[in-house]
Amino acid sequence: MNSGRDPSQKDIKLLIPFKEAPALGNEYLKIYKNLEIQYKILEFIQPLYEQAKIEEVRNTPSVIVLDKAGPADHKAKPKASLYALIAFVSSLIVGYFFVFLFVLNDKMKLQDPKRHSYIFSSIKSDFQKLYKRKSN
């Protein structure tokens, strides 16, 4: 009892020696008093902390202006002149293609009417077959 050791239990300190009991009791009371003080402080501070968090959320602005707006130095998109140029060139190419087909058709009618009628009748029959296939 004086040493705090049980001879049958070699490494286990189950009993507190009588010599150390008053010092351990004092240490326990100091720790317990410190814990009670911390608990009382927490009881007082916790509502203040929650209230400060709510006030902070309430006072923060929803929109923060980082930079003032101003006109751009140069236009980024859409590049209208480039799109207009592409549309003009592509429509010019398609137009020349149709003119070429019409002139070819007129020349073929005048120079070789048999061949002209054969080509257009075969094209017409091909389109009719294709239309019948799609409708079924």
Strand partners, 6: 9
* Tens of pLDDT, residues 77-89: 778 888 999 999 9
**Using CA atoms, how far apart are residues 1 and 19, in angstroms rounded to an integer?**
10
Q: What is the pLDDT of residue 1?
A: 47
Q: What is the pLDDT of residue 14?
A: 59
Is 18's pLDDT higher than 80? no
Of 79, 81, 99, 102, residue with least CA distance to 91: 99
Mean pLDDT, residues 100-112: 91
Is 3's pLDDT higher than 60? no
Mean pLDDT, residues 61-67: 78
Six token digits for residue 33:
């008093």
Interacting residues of 17 by C-beta distance below 8 A, sequence separation 6+: 1, 2, 3, 4
Q: What is the pLDDT of residue 50?
A: 92
Is 8's pLDDT higher than 70? no
Is 6's pLDDT higher than 60? no
